[in-house]
Amino acid sequence: MVRFMKHKTYNIITLGCQMNKSDSERIAGYLENLGYKLNNDRYSSDLVVVNTCGVRQSAEDRIYGIIPRIKKKNPKAKIVLTGCLSNREDVKKRLKEKVDIWLPTVQIPNLKYQITNKFQIPNNKSQSCGYLKIKSKYSSMISAFVPIGNGCNNFCSYCVVPMARGGEVYRPAKDIVQEVENLVKIGYKEINLIAQNVNSYKSQITNNKFQTNSKLQITNSKQINFSGLLQMINSISGNFWIRFSTSHPKDMSDELIKIITNCKKVCRHIHLPAQSGDNEILKKMNRNYTAGHYKKLIKKIRRAMPDTSITTDAIVGFPGETREQFNNTAELFKEMKFDMAYVSKYSPRPGTAAENLDDNVSREEKKKREENLMRILRKTAWENNKQYIGEIVEVLIEGEKNNFYFGKIKTGKSVRIMNYELGIRNLVGKFVKVKIIKSRDFGLEGEIA
Ligand code: SAH
Ligand code: SF4
């Protein structure tokens, strides 16, 4: 690509999910290819990209503070708004004086035209994941996000993602495998495969044999599902871990559970958003499963892999959620003994089916319900974590701070490594055996074994 913008600087502000973080890494790679240099100060950068999240009102509200502040303190900066809110007409109206370029995520490859010519690209929601071909500037040297697709077809009634990102499109298995092979070759130790619903993955290539280092080869006209993709990535040689999210309870198959069990590089951590433990609410949410199905699924996973940690998402105060219905979610939390959960207070989102329902649970009541779930979670997570005491576990060291190392184990738990001998060689980016000596609700402490 032509380098035509020497010495200009950029800054990226990322709000929201892993997918947004990964998209920002791609935007950074793209801009550096154009000759831009990273500037950590948004108030002196030539170009500021705000990668927005519209999943909750609270995430949306943040940009109404951030963007006008940048425009005021750094009026010469070109402000690019991308991500979930880039297609929202009401947001465009509200920020039209402050934002220079509106960039739907799939249009990232066209950003150079907009920077140079103020040439307006047609604002159609392209169903493409071509932008995923852009090479990321990974923000970590150890752990990388590798998107396997984009968009969602599920239309959960509260969720804006299918409107904001469009329908599901998946990346060819060949591209994914090659990206992972390259990452492993240069020393990456953790690969995070991400998509809104990984379980619906289908490879888009149906012919052309391709050669990879993976022991498994894709042959003619064989469609690959997520289980097949995991097997391919698992068979890439090298010492690394594989994580994936997000799974949907309606789509997690027995085949997938079996494959995860057999793939030794796949981490023992399943993130499975329940959203609610009440059948009527689940139906109103258009989740297409019951609480009973969810519980059975977790039991199946735990039977196949007893050492797996299970994390979830839940929404409290969905329109019409009664105390009894909420109590079913609280029961689910007690019974499933989650290791971690992201609990959100429901907020109506424009364009969703639930937008038309009466948001009749008060803010205070939502807060109470959220605190209630967090109390249960802290207890179950702490009880789960106690079982690690005395065990020797493998830790991927992610960094060093104030005289301790920190990292993660295969189940996704954070570990702090205390009292290691000063002068010990740099362990960042290495797998190290650690004896767990202390546990907290959301973390463990250990010593090098
Ligand atoms: N694809 C994932 C998550 C997508 S959004 C899934 O299927 O679960 C991330 C989380 O945000 C959701 O799991 C949900 O718990 C929360 N969320 C989405 N829309 C919301 C809304 N309108 N109000 C509150 N929380 C919401
Ligand atoms: Fe949103 Fe549901 Fe799709 Fe997840 S599965 S992104 S919650 S619509």
For 93-106, the pLDDT digits (tens) are 999 999 999 999 99
Grade residue 155 by pLDDT with cuts at 50, 70 and 90: very high
Q: Tell me if residue 341 falls in helix, strand or coil.
A: strand
Which ligand ends up closest to the CA of 246?
Answer: 1
pTM, to two decimals: 0.92
Q: Is the pLDDT of residue 128 over 90?
A: no
Which ligand ends up closest to the CA of 245?
Answer: 1
Taking the CA of residue 275 as reference, the ligand 2 atom at the shortest distance is: 7
What pLDDT is stored for residue 115 in this prediction? Answer: 85
pLDDT, average across residues 415-428: 77
Taking the CA of residue 347 as reference, the ligand 1 atom at the shortest distance is: 23
pLDDT, average across residues 416-431: 80
Question: How does DSSP classify residue 198?
Answer: G
pLDDT tens digit string along 337-359? 999 999 999 999 999 999 999 99
Bond before 246 cis per omega within 30 degrees: yes
Q: Which of 197, 247, 287 to mutate to test the pocket of ligand 2 (most atoms within 8 A of CB)?
A: 197
Which among 403, 411, 404, 398 has a CA at the least distance from the CA of 442? Answer: 411
What pLDDT is stored for residue 422 in this prediction? Answer: 55
Grade residue 212 by pLDDT with cuts at 50, 70 and 90: low
Domains and CATH numbers, the chain: 9-127 (3.40.50.12160), 140-267 (3.30.750.210), 270-386 (3.30.750.200), 392-448 (2.40.50.140)
Q: If you measure from the C-alpha of residue 207 to the centroid of ligand 2, how many angstroms do you get, rounded to a whole number?
A: 30
Q: Which two tokens stand for residue 237?
A: 């040689």
Q: Which two tokens stand for residue 408?
A: 């993660």
**Average of per-residue pLDDT values in the chain:** 92
Percentage of the chain exceeding pLDDT 90: 85
Taking the CA of residue 152 as reference, the ligand 2 atom at the shortest distance is: 3
pLDDT tens digit string along 22-31? 999 999 999 9
Q: Is the pLDDT of residue 271 over 50?
A: yes
pLDDT, average across residues 192-199: 96
Q: Are 345 and 316 in contact (CB under 8 A)?
A: yes
Give CA–CA dist 380/368, Å, rounded: 19
Q: If you measure from the C-alpha of residue 154 to the centroid of ligand 2, how many angstroms do you get, rounded to a whole number?
A: 6
Please list every protein residue whose CB sits less than 6 Å from any atom of ligand 1: 55-56, 158-159, 161, 196-197, 246, 248, 273, 275, 313, 315, 344, 346-347, 349
Q: Residues 6 or more apart from 90 whose CB is under 8 A from it?
A: 350
Q: Is the pLDDT of residue 176 over 70?
A: yes
Q: If you measure from the C-alpha of residue 137 to the centroid of ligand 2, how many angstroms do you get, rounded to a whole number?
A: 27
The dihedrals phi and psi of 98, each to the nearest 5 degrees, come to -105, -25
Taking the CA of residue 162 as reference, the ligand 2 atom at the shortest distance is: 8
Which ligand ends up closest to the CA of 314?
Answer: 1
What pLDDT is stored for residue 206 in this prediction? Answer: 46
What pLDDT is stored for residue 222 in this prediction? Answer: 72
Q: If you measure from the C-alpha of residue 235 to the centroid of ligand 1, how many angstroms do you get, rounded to a whole number?
A: 32
What pLDDT is stored for residue 207 in this prediction? Answer: 47
